[in-house]
Amino acid sequence: ETAVALLKARGVGIIYVSHRMSEIRNLSDRVTVLRGGKKIGTVVTAEISDQGLIEMMVGRPVEQLFPKIEDKPGAVRLEVRDLTTEKHSVIGASFTAHAGEVVGLAGLVGCGRSELCRAVFGLETIEAGTIMLGEKPIERPTPTSMLAANVCYFPADRGSEGLALVRPARENATMSSLDLPQLSSGPVLKFWRETETIKEPLTNLALRPLAPERKASAFSGGNQQKLMLARGLMKSFDVYLFDEPTVGIDVGAKADVYNLIKSLVEAGASVVVSTSELPELINLASRVYVMHEGKIVAELAQHELSEAQVLSHYFGGRA
């Protein structure tokens, strides 16, 4: 920001591309909003509110950014009891997630919520505790065994963990579903079926451009996120673990992610969302667990969810 200010003071004209509202507000004099490859309008920054800009970006009122989720909690799909990781990034954590509901994991960065998701999926070594899927205990979970048990995990770092950036969109979307009969026969991959099968999930997520053979690295951040999430639509999973599902993407792409979560929940899946975005927790979750220094310090029901209430537990206060 300092470099931009210095250049501006010297009379240099600057075109600054960003979806971060703070940068737009602090650096620009005028803002041009693009959506779907088309110019929506140009406004004077000082004369428009953040809400007004967001509405230009997404094409709908801000209050419609978060869809109304008709959650109908059913049986317990995932139960974690007294889980402690080997590195003690998670200590004695217990929580449940039911079919047909969104469960939020809240807390400051480093509180252990990301590690908790990773441990459930088998990416962090577990020192103690129990993971139950329905009534079935899971011994020493691994990503392979959890995928086989119908658990899907979306990491926070899509670049290094979520995508094979040098491979095409098609391969990234199907890599967790190659065991499906329509995609393979023994060791033989049915390429033509793979190409046909991914069209619907990629279209539903509004991937732009809809180019299955384009390398993942050639897509924008928001579209890379959609590409990763498309895996969750290739087959029906019972449990979905989202870690920072909207990190580094624009407001329009966020709306698409929220609608995906809505569709999964209303189809009966159990969805766990770990996020540092308070509005996401408040508007999407049925219940929220707050973590501090590796421990779950509070469980909040939907009627208790407000920014003040959630934040009050961020530093270790227990309900």
From first to last of its 319 residues, what are the pLDDT tens digits of the chain?
688 889 989 999 999 998 788 889 999 999 999 987 889 999 999 999 988 988 888 787 767 789 999 888 999 999 999 999 999 999 999 999 999 999 999 999 999 999 999 999 999 999 999 999 999 999 899 999 999 999 999 999 999 999 999 999 999 999 888 888 888 888 887 888 888 889 989 998 989 999 999 999 999 999 999 999 999 888 889 999 999 999 988 888 899 999 999 999 999 999 999 999 999 999 999 999 999 999 999 999 999 999 899 999 998 765 4
Domains recognised in the chain with CATH numbers? 2-64 (no CATH), 76-311 (3.40.50.300)
Specify whether the CB–CB gap between 272 and 245 falls below 8 A: no
Neighbouring residues of 28: CB distance < 8 A, sequence distance ≥ 6: 16, 45
Q: What is the pLDDT of residue 1?
A: 65
User: For residue 287, what are the CA distances in angstroms to 97, 98, 132, 133, 215?
Assistant: 9, 10, 19, 19, 38
Token pair of 99, please? 């079919």
Q: What is the pLDDT of residue 36?
A: 74
Q: Output the pTM of the full model.
A: 0.85
d(CA 88, CA 69): 35
Neighbouring residues of 319: CB distance < 8 A, sequence distance ≥ 6: 297, 298, 299, 300, 313
Specify whether the CB–CB gap between 238 and 269 falls below 8 A: yes
